[in-house]
Chain A
């Protein structure tokens, strides 16, 4: 029997994978993709709690979790578009997408 814990553990491991990608990888594109992984882990948590609520709730209230997923997907699409535009602009000025090369603010 698959319960809420299964989905939450899967979401936690997926979030850790994404976090490890952001921390470990220096390729800006892979950092952006790892952020997408983390956003998806959050979506999975929303949907898991919508399906398995901790306190009894009316179905209309439970569907707020699905609405939150809708908004997260919209924000993630915006983030990907702007993030990739920044990667292209940075590649133009530095001919590299290595995040260690983006250090103009360093004194």
Chain B
């Protein structure tokens, strides 16, 4: 990169703030419906981050599959259950939860410290490599990713289709009272 790309930086921090803000809403809101709608917003911001990473197919899939299909399923189930206040259960802070929270934060902090700090030291060099994709409009497009999936990962792709079939049948069998 010859000139610093301010647009990318500004957009990154904008989307990152959106992702973390709405992600925190998912975890800390009491009402699951508020959480589900915040998760939709989080997925849209993440799709923006994916576009910044030149992953256009992943961004479209994120919006269509996650924000579209999966979250509609979540909202549908929340409204189907129609939970009252007492059925949602009491959230109480116990010692075990405190220990779990501290260990999650410690694990992520350890990963960030041990794994990402050396990477940050060489960040400039890695950043230059991104310039290699500047001329490749195809990177991350449907055509390029499709070739990667159908040429190199045909078997996982077919297994995924079987997995989807099993999930459809399994969901119907589990959720239906009696067949």
Contacts and interface: CB of A to CB of B under 8 A. Distances in A.
Residue among A25, A26, A76, A86 having the largest count of chain B Cβ atoms under 10 Å = A25
Contact of A33 (B26, B58, B174): B26
A81 B170 CA distance: 9
B74 A33 contact: yes
Interface of A: 1-10, 12-21, 23-27, 29-30, 32-34, 36-37, 40, 43-44, 47-48, 50-54, 56, 59-60, 62-64, 66-67, 69-71, 73-82, 84-89, 91-92, 95-98, 100-101
Contact of A73 (B61, B153, B167, B175): B61
Size bracket, chain B contacts: 35 or more
A24 B152 contact: no
Given A17-B23, A30-B27, A88 B175 contact: yes
Contacts, number: 253
Contacts of A74: 160, 163-164
A74 B179 CA distance: 27
Contacts of B89: 26-27, 96-98, 100-101
Contacts of B120: 3, 5
B81 A97 contact: yes
A36 B67 CA distance: 11
Contact of B46 (A17, A44, A53): A44
Given A47-B58, A81-B73, A98-B89, 19 more contacts: A2-B12, A6-B12, A8-B116, A10-B19, A17-B27, A26-B89, A44-B49, A47-B50, A60-B148, A60-B152, A64-B148, A71-B157, A78-B163, A79-B167, A84-B77, A88-B77, A88-B174, A88-B175, A98-B88
